[in-house]
Amino acid sequence: MLVAALATLCAVGQISCGGSSSSTAPPPQPIPTPTAGPKPFAPYIDTSLNPNLPQIQASSSIKYFTLAFIVDGGGCSANWDGATPVSQDTTYTGYISSIRASGGDVIFSFGGAAGDNLPTQGAYQGSNDAPDLDLAYSNDCATASALTSALQTVINQYGANPSNNTIYLDFDVEGNAVNTDASNGPTRTRTDGVDSVNLRNQALTALVANNPGITINISYTMGVYETGGLPSDQISVLQNALDNSTPVAVMNIMTFDFGPGEEIAPGSYAPVVENLANQTLAQLSEPPLSALGAQLGITLMIGVNDSPGEVFGLSDAQAVTAFATPNANIARLSFWSVARDNGGCPGSNQDQNTCSGISQFQWDFSHACEAF
């Protein structure tokens, strides 16, 4: 009777039948598209790849995009990646209208790693006269008024979103453009002697004053250490904003590329991001930075990061989204970049521009974050 009873329990799955099993693990499934959350998840679009925003939105369900990057196209003129003058653009003008009409919006991002670092070789080595630099970091924008005029072309070309009368401008300041220690290489002070950080904040304050009919939502995107939150150089950028009465709405932290030897495995990355977010929120809530009243943004780098050994996995994205969504002080979630949100190069040991480097379905990371 005991044998018969055990056989019955085995048949209905109440106990293990032992021995070999013909069953296999179910195949992995794509992360489903969630109901969009209440706050803007705005992943980066690498505009140098000539993306079609409405097509991407239709395929991915992403409502908001961060367009990167606007740099100096020569003569202190706003230019998409050194290729298309903003004032002559027709492609993004149509894309942005379509995105806004569908209930989404875009964030215009200026600078970036390439625009914030001086050439290390060639005719422009170590010079702020180099082409395609961040507008404030280029000697072409000699004065705050010249920089204000360059920024104004973006507002003139694309306007504010009619639904909330707001335009979003983000300033990615990193590398040389945030550095204050000459022993670490070129600094934020340009080769013409101008402090690019002070120039930018002066220009932004004037830009806001020159456009009283719209809201200009200003954010700074800057790096953090793996522990400790904002470093002193980044804090000095925000302090300078206070000194210039520049209304910074969001401090967006880049939670990746912590450097050699800082290996972080998939599944272990989310706690690092959450800790950095809490540390930065504490810094923003205390004097002097509390006077800004800025909220926090979090930018991730999906999959294999630039720094060897740093890999941000899908479970990390889900955990960070669950952590950030209910926090009223976290206003933005993003990642680099939309073109990488696919499994086209699984097992890669270095970052790629057009795939994440891990095994995944297309849009898995976007769907993990869209509930924000």
DSSP state for residue 252 in the 8-state scheme = E
Unique residue bearing structure tokens 């693990």? 25
Q: Provide CB contacts within 8 A for 105, sequence distance 6+.
A: 40, 63, 64, 99, 161, 166, 168
DSSP state for residue 126 in the 8-state scheme = T
pLDDT tens, residue by residue, 189-214: 999 999 999 999 999 999 999 999 99
Residue 120's Cβ-count burial label (10 Å; 0-12, 13-18, 19+) is exposed
Angle subtended by helix axes 314-324 and 269-285, to nearest 10:
30
Query: How much is the pLDDT for 283?
Result: 98
3-state secondary structure of 198: helix
The answer to which of 9-18, 87-96, 164-173 has the lowest mean pLDDT is 9-18
Neighbours of 159 (CB within 10 A): 15
Backbone angles phi, psi at 68, to 5 degrees: -130, 130
Tell whether the torsion through CA atoms of 336, 339, 345 and 351 is positive or negative. negative
* Cα pseudo-dihedral 254, 257, 263, 269, rounded to 10: 20
What are residue 215's DSSP bridge partners? 166
Length of the chain: 372
Could you list the beta-strand ranges (E) of 212-371: 215-223, 248-254, 295-301, 303-304, 311-312, 330-336
Nearest alpha carbon to residue 302 among 260, 273, 261 = 273
Query: How much is the pLDDT for 24?
Result: 63
Query: How much is the pLDDT for 262?
Result: 76
**Mean pLDDT of all residues in the chain?**
93
- Domains of the chain are 31-369 (3.20.20.80)
Unique residue bearing structure tokens 């569908």? 102
Pairing verdict, β 64-72 and 44-46 = parallel
pLDDT tens, residue by residue, 240-284: 999 999 999 999 999 999 877 778 989 999 999 999 999 999 999
Neighbours of 277 (CB within 10 A): 23
pLDDT tens, residue by residue, 282-304: 999 999 999 999 999 999 999 99
Q: What percent of the chain has pLDDT over 70?
A: 93
CB 321 within 8 A of CB 369: yes
Element (H, E) at 105: strand 105-111
CB 241 within 8 A of CB 294: no
Query: How much is the pLDDT for 5?
Result: 42
Query: How much is the pLDDT for 20?
Result: 41
